[in-house]
Amino acid sequence: MSHYMNGLVVRSEGAPPEVTELRLPEIGPGQVRIRIRAAGVCHSDLSMVNGTLRPPHPLVLGHEAAGEVLETGDHVTRASVGDRVVLNWQPACRSCWFCTHEQPWLCSTSSGVAALENGLTMDGAPVHVTLGVGAFAEQVVVPENAVIRVPSSLDFDLAALLGCAVLTGTGAVRNTAAVRPGESVLVIGLGGVGLSVVAAARAAGASQVIAVDVTEAKKGLAEAAGATDFVVSSENLSKDIRVRTNKLGVDHAIECVGRAVTIRAAWRATRRGGQVTVVGMGAADDMVQLGALDIFSSARILRASVYGQADTDVEVPALAREVVEGRLSLDHLITDRIGLAEVPAAFERMGRGEGARSVVIL
């Protein structure tokens, strides 16, 4: 039986996204059909449109999502019809070198897959889906290892954020930077991920969390997430941070933009022996230049945090429990609830640095 539904499709490079009717593939063994109920608008989706990434087309956008299971294929054990699930855009295969060496976030099977075909068609022609998901659609078909069950009491819009922004930001603090009580943290870039970093840093006991963005409009959101200081970015950012840290610099700088200029600013704002964690995904040709003597004498650590350096099958359910039990608040992250056709306008707001997360409600 064929299933027809609407999805947000970019037909070719440079073309605007548009809502289009699609035919969903039949599910096979080990696959699950999901009705999408909420999907967050992430900067990675914008990168698929604005040229930062060069995915194949036509392409269904979206990857940060939650929904309910409508149908399961043969041999599926991870989910049942009616389950509330978060979609995992980088599911671990559990058999490659990285997965068997306790680094499932670097799984060689799913890492670096910008888009792939999954049997979805438009006018009979194959269609690609973003990060193997294509969540800006009414339904998706995914392998069972791409679904993670969460409590039915967790609202779909909040559950969706666990699949990317919250897991990425929280994991950067807890797993990669390993922020300890009393330390100082600088957060550059206050989208959904950056605000999750701010909240997680405060929850970890950071004594000072300095939030930075390009516009004063983010100050209220930063304070709601738990920032102790707010700074509008400028060419003098590293000096501004040192003024606020007794000329020492921060223990941790967490960069959530993915640009060479902000990575460099994060490096210069960090104390000797401190750590810079890069969360933002940038362009391949945006080169970061650091002096060889500076690298040696500063004794700083520079590292990336991919998908929060998290085992998603363990940490997404744990985060879901924290939300349900009231120990983790996400309400401040959602600034707009929209429909599929409004995603291009959400991209425009994101490009202007407005708001936190827009969530598509289906």
pLDDT at residue 147 is higher than 70: yes
Question: What pLDDT is recorded for position 332?
Answer: 86
CA distance 295 to 286: 19
Lowest mean pLDDT among 245-254, 317-326, 352-361: 352-361
pLDDT at residue 51 is higher than 80: no
pLDDT at residue 82 is higher than 70: yes
pLDDT digit string, tens, across residues 91-119 = 999 999 999 999 999 999 887 677 778 88
pLDDT digit string, tens, across residues 289-341 = 999 999 999 999 999 999 999 999 999 999 999 999 999 889 889 999 999 99
Question: Rounded to the nearest 5 degrees, what angle is found at the Cα of 269, between the Cα atoms of 290 and 170?
Answer: 100
**Residue 265: pLDDT band with limits 50, 70, 90:** very high
pLDDT at residue 49 is higher than 90: no
In the chain the domains, ranked by start, together with CATH numbers, are: 3-149+330-361 (3.90.180.10), 166-307 (3.40.50.720)
CA distance 9 to 59: 5
CA distance 262 to 266: 6
List alpha helices for the chain, DSSP H: 43-50, 97-100, 156-162, 165-171, 192-203, 219-225, 237-243, 260-268, 292-298, 312-324, 343-351
Which residue in 312, 278, 17, 7 sits closest to 150, CA to CA? 312
